[in-house]
Amino acid sequence: MRKALVTGANGFIGSALVRELLAHGIEVIAVVRKNRNHIPENVRGIECDLANFCRLPEMISDRDIDVVYHMAWSGSSGTLRSDYSLQLENAKYTCDMVKIADAMQIRRFVGAGTLAQIDCDSYISQNGSIPNPVSCYGSAKIAAQYMSKSVANSIGLDHVWCFISNTYGVGNAAMNFVDMAIQRMLKGERSAFTDGEQNYDLVYVSDTICGLYLCGKYGKNNHSYYIGSGEPRKLKEYIKIIRDAVNPDIPIYFGEIPFRGVTLPLEKYNIETISRDTGYNPKIKFEDGIIKTVQWLREKNL
């Protein structure tokens, strides 16, 4: 891999991926929505909204790009995850990006999936299940994966799909579960959670983007890979470690918030396939990564 195109390149994971690719000597063309925030000066930035990605073949003359990492997705956090119209558009844009890659003579497509896909697939299909409105996000990711895979095979592109797990770390502005829990504790708010008995996996951002890089380089065509920590555990164990990193004296109120969903078996978090095919080997233990993250958020709040 010598040259890569990254969409959504100034997001938390996208910008980290750009830096990872640069570290491996790969030339990067970064597609961003509005500005070059978080994009290194030596990277070529292209401002283009998802709805206008059809213009990319005109805006980028390069025809020697090896792989496209499609990270762009509107409404991946917060209440916009329940906007079904927006989420359906994202699925369409993912399929469009495959066709656009073909027009640019890019022969390899790497899509950014999510653990929410696995949650939705395991839970919503059950008779009597009551999905949350935000399940529209995970459902749209399922559609994006299967449909883009069909499109890619119809035109002869390699298709690799990555299930990105719950990624946390320094620089995340999306307020995921880890950031929410830390902020709540730092502000002295009541630390109320579900019973925490569900299996969970939290991955430090440097491990996630290492997995993405390796999938782009070594991932097998028509394969999907779960990028995890290799050490999944009960959610309550993660919460206790977060609490201890903030202040060991903070009381935790498990069970005050009802859990509506399904507990995934530990094998769903298995990284054997990605490790075998790409050499992926996560480095950051949660106990170490959370200390960095708590320190960053403390400084940010000052």
Q: What is the CATH number of the domain that holds 106?
A: 3.40.50.720
Examine residue 230 and state whether it is found in any structural domain, yes or no.
no
247/187 Cα distance (integer angstroms): 11
Instruction: Determine, yes or no, domain membership for 106.
Output: yes
Evaluate whether 263 touches 222 at the Cβ level (below 8 Å): no
Angle at the Cα of 14 from the Cα atoms of 13 and 15, rounded to 5 degrees: 95
Question: What is the C-alpha to C-alpha distance for residues 302 and 297, in angstroms, rounded to an integer?
Answer: 9
Asked whether residue 270 is assigned to any structural domain, the reply reads: no
Query: Mind listing the pLDDT tens digit of every residue in the chain (302 residues)?
Result: 999 999 999 999 999 999 999 999 999 999 998 877 778 888 999 999 999 999 999 999 999 999 999 999 999 888 899 999 999 999 999 999 999 999 999 999 999 999 999 989 888 888 988 888 789 999 999 999 999 999 999 999 999 999 999 999 999 877 789 999 999 999 999 999 999 999 999 999 999 999 999 999 999 999 999 999 999 999 999 999 999 999 999 999 999 999 877 789 999 999 999 999 999 999 999 999 999 999 999 998 75
Tokens of 276: 């075998």
The neighbour count for residue 61, using CB atoms within 10 Å, is: 7
252 is a domain residue: no
256 part of a folded domain: no
Provide the residue count of the chain: 302
Q: Is residue 38 part of a domain?
A: yes
pLDDT of residue 131: 87
Residues 6 or more apart whose CB falls under 8 angstroms from that of 57 comprise 100, 103, 104
**What local confidence, expressed as pLDDT, does residue 302 receive?**
57
75's CB contacts (< 8 A; 6+ apart) are: 81, 83, 86, 87, 90, 137
Rounded CA-CA distance 137/120 in Å is: 9
- Residue 270: strand pairing partners: none
Among all chains, which residue has been given the structure tokens 């003359």?
Answer: 61
pLDDT of amino acid 176: 87
In a domain, 107, yes or no: yes
Give me the amino acid identity at 215: C
Residue 79 sits at φ, ψ, to 5 deg, of -70, -20
Distances (CA, A) of 5 to 27, 112, 213: 9, 14, 12
Domain around 66: 3-164
**Counted domains in the chain:** 1
Which candidate, 228, 181, 173, places its Cα nearest to that of 200? 228
Which parts of 115-260 are beta strand (E)? Answer: 158-164, 166-168, 191-193, 199-200, 202-204, 223-227, 233-234, 252-254
- Give the alpha-carbon dihedral of 141, 143, 146, 151, to 10 degrees: -110
Residue 39 lies in a domain: yes
